Structure 1
Amino acid sequence: MNDFNHSTVNAMDKMTDAGHRSVARRNESTSLTPAQLAERSIIPYVDGANRQLVDSFRELRTRLLATSNDNFITLIAPVTDGCGGSFVARNLALAMTFDQSKNALLIDCNLRHPSQDTSMKIDTSRGGLINYLEDPEAEVESMLYSTGIPRLKLIPAGRSSYGEMESEYFSSFRMRLLLDSLRSSYSDRYIFLDSPPTLGAPDARMLSELADVVILVAGYARNTPTDIAAAAANFDPRKFAGVVFNENA
C-alpha cells in the first residue's frame, strides 16, 4: 500500500483541461476524520492538507472530464503488481466527488487479489461484484456500499462461491448489463474500474472493452519503458488517455 504523504502522481499527455459544472447537494459531509482517511490511504483533502497530491488528482480528474460531455467509465490499470493502481483508482474516484454535482462509483475488478474493501475498512458481508455475476437473482443495490465519503460508493470484488476466479466474467453479458445499468441510472455518476495488472493476464484488456477511457499506472522507477509500452499496447489507442507515474509504488 502506498504512503500518500510521500507519493506523487504525474499524468503524461493525451489529456486537456475542462471546466466545472454547477455545484449541488452542499449539505453532504464526510463521516471520516483526516486520520481515518489516512488509515484508508485516501488523501485527506480538508484544511489544505496534502495540497500537491490533491491537486495532482484534481488535474487528472479535470483532464478526464475534458474527454466527454457525458458520464463515462474509466479503467485504471497497473502495469504490474505493486504499481499502486488501487491507490490511484481510489483517489481519482474521490477527486471526482470534489465537485459536489458529481457522484463516483469505484468497482474493485481485481477478483484474484481484491484490496479496496480492506483498504477502506468496509464490511462486505452482503457480497460484491463476483457474487452478483455468479447469482442471477442478485440485486445491484445490494452490492453498493457507503464509504463514509459523500457521493462515493464502492462495489467490492466479493468472494466467489466456486473457488478460482475467471476473467471470462468480464466478457459476460451480465457484466456489460451491470455497467450499462449503473451508468444510465444516474447521469452524474462516474464509474472507475480498479483493474488487475495489465501484463501477465488478459483481465485488463477485457475490462478495457467495457470502458470509455483507460489510464495506465506505472511504478516510478519500477516499470521499464519496455514494460509500459507493452502494457499500453493492450488497449485501444482511441481510449488510451495516458500514463500515471506513481512514486514510491
Structure 2
Amino acid sequence: MSIIEKALAKQQKATECSPLVEPEIQELSNNETAIKVDQKAVLSLDKTGLAERGYLIDNGTRKSIKDEFRQIKRKLLNNAFGNASKTLEHSNLIMVSSAKPNEGKTFVAINLALSIALEQDKTVLLVDADVLRPSVIRELGIEEQPGIIDYLLGKSKQVSDILYNTDIDKLKLIPAGKPHHLSNELLASEKMATLANELATRYPDRIVIFDCPPLIGVTETLVLANLMGQAIIVVEESKTSIADIKFATEHLNEDMALGLVLNKAIRSHKDLYGYYGYGYGAKD
C-alpha cells in the first residue's frame, strides 16, 4: 500500500471515530507522514467591507479599536488559561450576548475573534449561535453555509462538516445554518451540550466565542449560558437600563466569569477605553 493510500485509509478511520476532525498532519504507523486533505474551500472574508464598518481600525479621532479590544481579550485569555481557569468550567468557551437585540453584540463578538486571531499561540473559533437572527455570515461578507442548526438536526453528521477555515490563519468559523422553527429549542438540547463539551476539551488552547441570542425574551440563551465558562454582556450606553441588565444577568450561572462591554460610549468617559468600555467582576 502506498503512502497516499495509507493516509487516506487512516483519514477515513479517524473521520468515523471522531466528530471533530480538522486538517492536520496525520502520523502513520511506520512514522511516515501525510497531509490530510480538507475538501471544503477556505472562506474569504470581506476585509475591505469589515474595515469600512469599523472592525478593528483606528477612526483617527479615538483610541484604536484594536487597542481597546486587546485590553478586553487579555482579561478573557487570562481567565481561560491563567489561574482563574482552575475555578471555571469550560473557561475557553465565551458567550457574547446582550439584554435585548440591536445593542452591538455581533460587532463585539467578531472583533474579539479578530483580535484573538492575532495571538501567536492561540486559535479562535467563532460560532454564530444566534440562530433566529444570524448575522455573522452577513457581516463577514461570505455566502450562507451549513452550520450549527444543520448539525443539531442531524443533516450534517460531523462537526467537521460545519467547521470552516477562513483566510485569516487562526480564525475558524461555525455558521448558524438555515433557520428552523425549533432553532432555539435545539440550542437547549443534549446534543448541543455534548458539542460544547467537545469544543471545550478537544482543543484546549483554542478560544471559542459564541454569538448568542439576547438574554431577555429567549429562555434558551440561559440554557446555553450554562455550558460556558465566561460571558460578555454588551450594553448600549443611554439605551440599556440598569433594570434590564440586572434582569438579563440575574439567572446566569454564578460560577461563570462575567464581563460588561459598554458599547457606543461617549468620549467623555475617562474611566473607559474610549469607544468601548469593559467592566469586569463577579455579579452582585
TM-score (norm 1): 0.77
> What amino acid sits opposite 2:143 in the alignment?
D
**Residue 176 of structure 2 corresponds to residue 157 of structure 1:** yes
Shift in Å at residue 242 of structure 1?
Answer: 1.9
Q: Does 1:135 align with 2:121?
A: no
2:113 and 2:171 in contact (8 A); partners too = yes
Deviation track 1:195-222 (CA, whole Å, cap 9, x = no partner) reads 1111112122111111011111111111
The residue number in structure 1 matching 2:196 is: 179
Q: C-alpha separation between the residues in 2 aligned to 1:58 and 1:89?
A: 13
Q: Which of 50, 55, 78 is the equivalent residue of 2:67?
A: 55
Query: Is the partner of 1:105 in helix, strand or coil?
Result: strand
Asked whether 1:65 is paired with 2:77, we answer: yes
Match of 1:119 among 139, 155, 163: 139
> Post-superposition, which runs of at least 4 consecutive aligned residues in structure 1 deviate over 4 A?
31-34, 48-51
User: 8 Å contact 2:149–2:183 — kept in the other structure?
Assistant: no
Gaps of 5+ in 2: 1-43, 86-90, 266-275, 277-284
Query: Is residue 193 of structure 1 aligned with residue 234 of structure 2?
Result: no
Equivalent-residue separation in structure 2 for 1:185 and 1:195 (angstroms): 22
Displacement of 1:137: 5.4
Identity of aligned pairs, percent?
A: 31
Shift in CA distance, 131/137, structure 1 to aligned 2, threshold 3 Å: closer
Distance 1:144 1:154, change over 3 A: same
CA distance in 2, matches of 1:228, 1:44: 29
Q: Is contact 2:113–2:126 with CA below 8 Å preserved after alignment?
A: yes
Q: What are the residue-to-residue correspondences of 1:169-248 with 2, within 5 Å?
A: 169-247=186-264
User: Is 1:81 equivalent to 2:101 in the alignment?
Assistant: yes
Contact 1:120–1:147 under 8 Å retained in 2: no
Query: Counterparts of 1:231 and 1:189 in 2: how far apart (Å)?
Result: 28
SS at match of 1:222: coil
- Give the counterpart letter for 2:174 in structure 1: I
* Residue 176 to residue 65, structure 1, CA distance change in 2 (3 Å): same
Give the corresponding residue for 1:107. 127
Distance in 1 between residues matched to 2:62 and 2:204, nearest whole Å: 30
Structure 1 unaligned residues grouped into runs of 5+? 1-30
Work out whether residues 41 and 119 of structure 1, in 8 Å CA contact, stay in contact via their aligned partners in 2.
no
By relative contact order (CA 8 Å, sep 6+), the higher-ranking structure is 1
1:35 corresponding residue in structure 2? 48
Over aligned residue pairs, what C-alpha RMSD do you find? 2.7
| TM-score, structure 2 normalization | 0.68
- Cα gap change, 1:109 to 1:41, in 2 (>3 Å): farther
* Displacement after TM superposition at 1:229 (Å): 1.2
CA distance in 2, matches of 1:224, 1:186: 38
Asked which structure has the greater CA Rg, the reply is 2
Deviation at 1:32?
6.2
CA contact (8 A) 1:44 1:50 kept: no
